[in-house]
Amino acid sequence: RPATVTSSKKSASRNPQTPQEILASIWNTYADETPQRSKLLDVFMGFLLVVGGLQFVYCVIAGNYPFNAFLSGFSATVGQFVLTASLRIQTNPANKGDFENISHERAFADFIFGSMILHFFCVNFIN
């Protein structure tokens, strides 16, 4: 029984305890194990979140007089975020078994095609 206590103390001492250590551990794991391609998609998704948030804040502060323009721009950022998330899921090496019939090039071509259709409708919705 004492061996169990010491082994649990050892495992507890190896695990991060404070919130800062937990965040540092998550960041280090992400930086070490995430492919560069996925990191690039994550940065783009973060950019889309910021742009969508700024559009929403502007709409709240300044008003939404041309509501279709706001709706079109906000829909474009949300739609592009969803398409990028789909591309990230399809090109993630951890999901290779789920998408064995879809190559990375095919996933990117689908992403480009979907983006073109999305932006075509958004531009036409503005008037």
The predicted-structure confidence for 41-97, as pLDDT tens digits, reads as follows: 999 999 999 999 999 999 999 988 888 888 999 999 999 999 999 999 999 998 999
Q: In this predicted structure, what is the pLDDT of residue 126?
A: 84
How far, in Å, CA of 90 to CA of 58, rounded?
Answer: 34
Q: In this predicted structure, what is the pLDDT of residue 24?
A: 93
Share of the chain above pLDDT 90, in %: 75
Q: In this predicted structure, what is the pLDDT of residue 63?
A: 84
Dihedrals phi, psi of 101, to nearest 5 degrees? -85, -5
Reading the block at residue 42, the tokens are: 């994550």
Question: What number is the average pLDDT over the span 26-42?
Answer: 94
Dihedrals phi, psi of 60, to nearest 5 degrees? -70, -40
3 pLDDT more than 80? no
